[in-house]
Structure 1
């Protein structure tokens, strides 16, 4: 890892494209990194860029340039890294322009809402990497101490043969949440509901822990909201190449909203991550719970980084991205990783729509790209 203080490394100038709440959250993380400077803000709604510029100026003392489009920003300010925080269905256009301009790219999850566009981003990222650019997709929970501990144990054999996983995202989103933006709850721009928007990070961790999926069987429904195209409840079973089985549950209809819970089980150990914290950890055939040893209390919420958990998680990933740029290596989470997670989400929707199990490689290959996904019981 490169030490920016001793190496004399220069600052990296950042443009944030999309200045809503996600753009604000990214800005807060970026402002905490000593190597990153926000020089440009881009939003089709000028008021959004202006409001975020006020925040950046208040916290950093410097006001970034404000633009309505990335093309304009590229000519108005020095930019090394483009952070894409637009609605999911608009990611590819910004990614294409940023990579063509020779910029490193960070994409907020999910990768995109459309498999064809996601494949385009995947190919763009491969070309970018050959040119020495870093393209990363936000999966900040891979950098949580609890997640790292579980992944290491699962991959190193400390859990023995990994046999199963259980993942539950039991959240609540009000009707007002969906009514607050025309893009919310739409297949075109939101890309899906509880699985795509709220559950994709947990899907990503499940795949990281258990490996490559083979087959997905799922049901979805819209039960607690109106004027919404997508699901607010989904359940699925996933079979992995290793033979392990997992259950996935994601909902935005669990009032008042509960914590995300993820369990991994093997024949020599198990672990439970609850609300991003390591609740229990058994490994190496030992019946003693080693959770507090594996993740010391000082690391649980980021040590001295403050109480803002969202910012802490994103900051960890930005540290990895900056190191990847400095060290000319692949980032900890690349587009390939995000594409696999997106394929799992798409498989859930396809299985629910078609009323049958879906082979994962059918989705990866694009064999089912022509199917229009729906919410609820298949006709």
Structure 2
């Protein structure tokens, strides 16, 4: 178990310098008791450009240090937390190494590309006693939490069905500008593992343990190895079923829809905004959410990531458990991995 050792500001470094890194930097700038001090990228020129742009946008802050190597980053005792914003295929190895070198880690989704690699990270966290948290920013949405509380209170009656529909659009340049995307070796999948994992995580958060899955995956619009269109049907413990649609193939791209149906009521969300609340419990009075990246990943709000940063800071300073640790982060990977197994074999896969 991690024992907190500081009540000062928590120091962060970002690993990577792409779109996700920019969102992490923005979130950290708005997080109390968090200090972004360094950036590392295997391409030093990219890291320097990231640091220069950060300083230009935040002139009142200290310049970011550009760390020269991965090993130097691990050995830098001034850095407490690493935000891993690297290609997905690097997450498991980097997270485990960082944990065993005494760093806390916040990993962009997915934690790893398969359940076995997730277990490797979990073991490193347990051995090191350090914190490993996985990004799933919708977990911090007040609307998502309101639905979870309604489930806990029995407002739905018996859960019968859940839905995730994510007909996003990504243009050709999205894959061409980052060739690791859409590859099995570095992305671990396509639309489902990269984009759809957020909705899958919420489906599991609301409905509990998945027992089996049947699926179809297709590559219909993009010249990539992995799927750009996936459909799955999931059987949950307790008898409920769920459906998953994840795609980057359609035009123009629509917002993610999340629905939960029960014998005594149902709800429907668009991204993290409640659009239908048909329960006996009063509808929560919540501000409009803003998690949309259905057409452009750069349009994703940093608000959910900020809550992740606040969650990590609280855990480092006080020992409070993080919302989404490595064990919890494994659940979505395990289901998605089983979806791919089903699509490849034509069989129903038990999880």
Pick closer, same or farther for the CA change 1:316–1:213 going to 2, 3 Å: same
* Match for residue 24 of structure 1 among 16, 22, 31: 22
Aligned length: 337
Equivalences for 1:43-192 in 2 at 5 Å?
A: 43-58=41-56, 59=58, 60-75=60-75, 78-128=78-128, 131=129, 133-192=130-189
Determine the C-alpha separation between the residues in 1 that align with 2:179 and 2:253: 23
Name the SS for the 2:301 alignment partner: helix
CA apart distance, 1:156: 2.3
Cα RMSD after superposing both structures: 1.8
CA apart distance, 1:332: 0.6
> Would the aligned equivalents of 2:83 and 2:105 in 1 still touch at CA under 8 Å?
yes
Pick closer, same or farther for the CA change 1:125–1:90 going to 2, 3 Å: same
* Match for residue 316 of structure 2 among 316, 325, 328: 325
> Would the aligned equivalents of 2:114 and 2:337 in 1 still touch at CA under 8 Å?
no
Determine the C-alpha separation between the residues in 1 that align with 2:190 and 2:258: 19
> Would the aligned equivalents of 2:89 and 2:187 in 1 still touch at CA under 8 Å?
yes
Aligned residue in 2 for 1:269:
265
> Would the aligned equivalents of 1:178 and 1:184 in 2 still touch at CA under 8 Å?
yes
TM-score norm. by structure 1 comes to 0.85
Determine the C-alpha separation between the residues in 1 that align with 2:68 and 2:240: 48
CA apart distance, 1:76: 5.2
Determine the C-alpha separation between the residues in 2 that align with 1:45 and 1:210: 42
CA apart distance, 1:196: 0.2
State the structure with bigger RCO (CA 8 A, min sep 6), 1 or 2: 2
Q: Deviations over 1:82-138 (max 9, x none)?
A: 11111011012221221122111100001112333222012112233xx2x221000
Determine the C-alpha separation between the residues in 1 that align with 2:62 and 2:303: 22
> Would the aligned equivalents of 1:15 and 1:42 in 2 still touch at CA under 8 Å?
yes
* Match for residue 241 of structure 1 among 215, 221, 237: 237
CA apart distance, 1:301: 5.2
Determine the C-alpha separation between the residues in 1 that align with 2:9 and 2:238: 44
Which shows bigger deviation, 181-190 or 317-326? Answer: 317-326
Gaps of 5+ in 1: 1-7, 303-307, 361-379
> Would the aligned equivalents of 2:142 and 2:286 in 1 still touch at CA under 8 Å?
no
Runs of 4+ with >3 A deviation = 74-77, 299-302
* Match for residue 39 of structure 2 among 36, 41, 57: 41
Determine the C-alpha separation between the residues in 1 that align with 2:315 and 2:11: 15
Gaps of 5+ in 2: 1-5, 292-298
2:7 paired with 1:9: yes
Aligned residue in 2 for 1:295:
285
CA apart distance, 1:252: 0.5
> Would the aligned equivalents of 1:113 and 1:191 in 2 still touch at CA under 8 Å?
yes
Determine the C-alpha separation between the residues in 2 that align with 1:311 and 1:95: 22
Aligned residue in 2 for 1:365:
none
Which shows bigger deviation, 195-204 or 57-66? Answer: 57-66
> Would the aligned equivalents of 1:165 and 1:264 in 2 still touch at CA under 8 Å?
yes
Q: Deviations over 1:184-215 (max 9, x none)?
A: 11000011001000100000000000000001
Name the SS for the 1:52 alignment partner: helix
Pick closer, same or farther for the CA change 1:196–1:301 going to 2, 3 Å: closer
Pick closer, same or farther for the CA change 1:76–1:55 going to 2, 3 Å: farther
> Would the aligned equivalents of 1:57 and 1:63 in 2 still touch at CA under 8 Å?
yes
> Would the aligned equivalents of 2:11 and 2:78 in 1 still touch at CA under 8 Å?
yes
* Match for residue 350 of structure 2 among 352, 359, 362: 359
Which shows bigger deviation, 197-206 or 62-71? Answer: 62-71
> Would the aligned equivalents of 1:139 and 1:201 in 2 still touch at CA under 8 Å?
yes
CA apart distance, 1:300: 4.0
